[in-house]
Amino acid sequence: MHIPDGFVSVPVAGATGLASVAALFIAFGRSQEAFGTRRAPILGLTTAFIFAAQMINFPVAGGTSGHLLGGTLAAVVLGSPWAGTLCIATVLIIQAVLFADGGITALGANILNMGVIGVWVGWVLTETLQRLFGGSKGRLPLAAGIAAGVSVVVAAIACAIELALSGTAPIAIVLPAMTGVHILIGVGEGLITGSVLTYLATARPDLLPGEQHEFRGWSVPVVTIFLIAGVLSLFASAWPDGLEKVAENTGFIDLAEKVRVIVPTPLADYGIEGLGLIGTSIAGLLGAGVCFAVAFGIAKVVKPKNA
């Protein structure tokens, strides 16, 4: 769902950019409570995991693929939608700047769709479902999984509206197209989110909010992230993702080539020229490392002085 350069108009890019900057400014302030009890490593590991997981596109149907957005998962693991917004925004900024994944001019729209709308819809719905389920911790993966799936669809609807407001495609065409394909992608998002939370609740409760478990070490999460970024990413589906497929079918895919902001980077498109699959592995490992370092630094900056 990463919008490339050329898909949104200047007014839409400006408005979504201002909205995202405002959301991030507020998130920095409101995240202090979460970082006071959840420690910087949790934000770093969560951000690196989301980056690595987004490298793996899974096939959906009809030659279309999707990947984890991770907004609901980040908010639940960090225990704060504000921290979740910082986590996803960090991933999106690094993807755009270092990997040319998502347009520079569309960065505000991407943060708004996935880092704000996706996170908050997932968080509010998870909290609502948890209350309906009686507040049982055992039902958290189910609640979060359902919420994660719905959040993907809502974020896709927001994206479709931005494309329509930009004059890129008629709303009557792009809205049902984006909604339909992202319902299928949302099923994958829900299954991944529920599975990860089930594993964490069983094997690593220290990485979840609530009871103040002592952090049990780095080895398993770091090795897991490196395996995903460096090995499993090599098996990602080559099919176009939901937005790209809609753009191909609707006829506006060429806009991405006509208007593209080039950022010099040796890691564009998650590869290194001349290194083939090894280059993809190296790019994934570097990206995960950068995501961890940036998120860890953010947590150190915004945490309360007495934390």
Element (H, E) at 58: strand 58-61
Number of alpha carbons in the 13 Å side-chain half-sphere of residue 68: 27
Q: What whole-number percentage of the chain has pLDDT above 90?
A: 73
Per-residue pLDDT band for 61 (boundaries 50, 70, 90) equals confident
Q: Does residue 136 surpass a pLDDT of 90? A: no
Q: Does residue 211 surpass a pLDDT of 70? A: no
Between CA 95 and CA 25 the distance in angstroms is: 20
How many CB atoms within 10 Å of residue 52? 25
pLDDT (mean) for 44-49: 96
Q: Are 181 and 171 in contact (CB under 8 A)?
A: no
> Residues 10-24, buried b or exposed e (16+ Cβ, 10 A)?
eebbebbbeebeebb
**Bridge partners of 59?**
65
Per-residue pLDDT band for 7 (boundaries 50, 70, 90) equals very high
Long-range contacts of 20-27, Cβ-Cβ distance < 8 Å, separation of 24 or more: 20/89, 20/107, 20/108, 20/109, 20/111, 20/112, 20/115, 20/116, 21/108, 23/85, 23/111, 23/112, 23/115, 23/116, 24/85, 24/86, 24/89, 24/111, 26/82, 27/82, 27/83, 27/85, 27/86, 27/89
Q: Are 100 and 130 in contact (CB under 8 A)?
A: no
The pLDDT of residue 261 is 67
Per-residue pLDDT band for 41 (boundaries 50, 70, 90) equals confident
The pLDDT of residue 62 is 83
pTM for the model: 0.94
Per-residue pLDDT band for 183 (boundaries 50, 70, 90) equals very high
Q: Does residue 215 surpass a pLDDT of 90? A: no
Between CA 239 and CA 146 the distance in angstroms is: 25
The pLDDT of residue 264 is 76
Q: Does residue 213 surpass a pLDDT of 70? A: no
Of residues 123 and 208, the one with the higher pLDDT is 123
